[in-house]
Chains A and B, each alone.
Chain A
Amino acid sequence: MATIRFEGQDYSCAEDEVLLDSLARQGAVLPSACKAGACQTCLTRALKGKPTPVSQQGLKDTLAAQGYFLACLCKPVEDMEIGLASVLSEYSVPLMRKELLNESIIRLRVEKPEGFSYRAGQFVNVRRSDGLSRSYSLASIPSDSYLELHIKRVAEGEMTTWLFDEVAEGDMLSFSGPAGDCFYLAGDLERPLLLAGAGTGLAPLLGIMRDALEQGHRGPIHLFHASLATSGLYLIDELNALAKQHAQLKYTPCVLHGDAPIGGMQGNIIDLPAQVLGTLSGYRIYLCGDPPIVSGLRQKSFMAGAAMQDIYSDPFVFSST
């Protein structure tokens, strides 16, 4: 009989009983719906102990790699500690560098804290001393000695105003993390990759792309980075230089209005990747940025032949203050 620890309480799980039922029997009711492993409402994370393979069947591999499983299918074979959401650690580190990348985007580099382990493409929650907190994606890769964030100024945004106007190099920055399931998984080194996004959606895409290259990815990598106009793009020279270094990498800057930079395209980012690449069957796809763009790109990629399991995304959520 396995013991399951959940929110500080121990529950016993009878043999041949699924975790969802045994917890419910003892008064801890997890969200659930189909109870048949299909709807994924009861998605739970193992903090300690290993979920059964059956309970991870059909899950995205990036979720399974982080210990997520379906409570309605898991008949525990060992003691486990579980949580509904991921439990994040807190860190505080000095800001090493702050620089402007274009008229409205800054790049922050902070020291990577001791023992901080993450996957390129995940995000952290930056926290001000008064508790104000916002999520930002990591543009760095684990072998970098720093963590890199790209931050776009939000008009009257409390957090970005503080980061742009007040925080200086040498100041301490606090954050928790990492979180997110949009990251590269080694194993399909030959597979074509599509990375597409807008604005600071480039941050996680850059991390994922550098990570893939570092892990020896050999298949083609197509990066589409979009903005309303050329002035909203950034790191164009750096990305062109990277593409020159790596023959399999193709970088396409995209703008909705006006002239595109050399080698770029004018049009709607939602349509461009499928237009250029034709069928996306067999691609592994990463989409980051504003939710409407991510959701549009996801639908177009799927309709262009990509399998749903192969589309990873990180839609940014903006707060109005």
Chain B
Amino acid sequence: MSKILVVDDEEHIRLLYSEELKEAGYEVITAESGYKLLEKIEQEKPDLVVLDIKMVDYNGLDILQDIRNRFYDLPVILSTAYDTFKEDMKSIAADFYVVKSFDLTELKKKIAMALETRLPD
């Protein structure tokens, strides 16, 4: 079972994503901020991270660079309420992005694609 880490400072989003993704067959863990996130990734070893871009204390795009530098091929899907983040070149280090919605069809599709991605060892 693939393990997904959902990072979002809004509790209702963490709850929604957790329930829906568990129902879709994933193991889900959550974090409410970028605080000690790299350590959490190190310990929990998720297969994929769903990362909010705008959190109160943290910029998701900066966290994305840290993740990419330390866990080069860990899939990261950016989750955002606005698509203006695409003006920032840092966003291209993400595997995919989704616009936040109560319908998680797109998120589930992107998660499946990211987990299916295969490069020769």
Chains A and B form a bound pair: no
